[in-house]
Amino acid sequence: MRCAILSDIHANLVAFQTVLEDMETRGGFDEIWCLGDIVGYGPEPHACIKLLQQYKNVSVAGNHDYAAIGRIDISSLNTDAAIACRWTARQLTSEDVDYLQSLAVKLTQGNFTLVHGSPRQPLRQYLISAVDANDNFSYFDTKFCLVGHSHVPLVFRQDKNGNCFAAGIPDTMQLEQEDHRLIVNPGGVGQPRDGDSRASYALYDSDAQVVHHYRVGYDIGATQKRMMECGLPVSLGLRLNYGC
């Protein structure tokens, strides 16, 4: 089976569609594992939920998903994110709200645990450093964990002595050769923050036991134009140029 590992789509429909097309050129996929923040920041929350639902998918909730339906306090978001969140809430249909409401914060798929932020704090914690990642290995039981939230593609490895190391995600990871437990972040589809403006995602091939990491450029201007039309904060559009 081939699983698309997508995180932080953030209502960026153009980026989402481009990633789906890119995967088709690479042999396609059977289902999507979505690590949350389907909505928030971007201009097409309803369309992104609808598009995700067209595919077999396993999805966890992100903080923006829950904030948009009032399930977590909007005060946890920065000013621009909160403006976008209130706007997002007005775009959602009752079916969209029910769907976001139905998302769990932690799921297990075979050898993988799926969360948005971290296993310890699924809706809150950003895993950027090895120090922060290290104690999280005791909060999941599977060999591998998939996270999003930081929008930065990273791999954290914990060795048998309990030491944790952070590194950029390689283009290809052979999981059978891994004697370490891993926490993997595929990066963000709709709002990358590692200084590279291209959409970032991963693809897990369960037969080959390989995770591939891909980047794909998309029409940022088209998303920015939609954001302007929707009256979303200008800074949220500009940051897409810089991947920050």
Q: Which is nearer to Zn ion, 37 or 44 (CB)?
A: 37
Q: Is 143 exposed, middle or buried (0-12, 13-18, 19+ CB in 10 A)?
A: middle
What is the smallest separation between the CB atom of 208 and Zn ion, expressed in angstroms?
29
Q: Which is nearer to Zn ion, 133 or 147 (CB)?
A: 147
Q: Which is nearer to Zn ion, 8 or 44 (CB)?
A: 8
155: which 2 tokens? 């791999």
96 part of the interface to Zn ion, by CB under 5 A: no
Print the SS3 string covering 145-194.
EECCCCCCCEEEEECCCCCEEEEECCCEEEHHHCCCEEEEECCCCCCCCC
Q: Which is nearer to Zn ion, 8 or 194 (CB)?
A: 8
Chain positions 30 to 59 lying near Zn ion, rule: CB under 5 A, are: 37
What is the smallest separation between the CB atom of 37 and Zn ion, expressed in angstroms?
4
- Provide the 10 A C-beta neighbour count for residue 131: 9
8 part of the interface to Zn ion, by CB under 5 A: yes
Number of amino acids touching Zn ion (CB under 5 A): 2
- Site residues (vs Zn ion, CB under 5 A): 8, 37
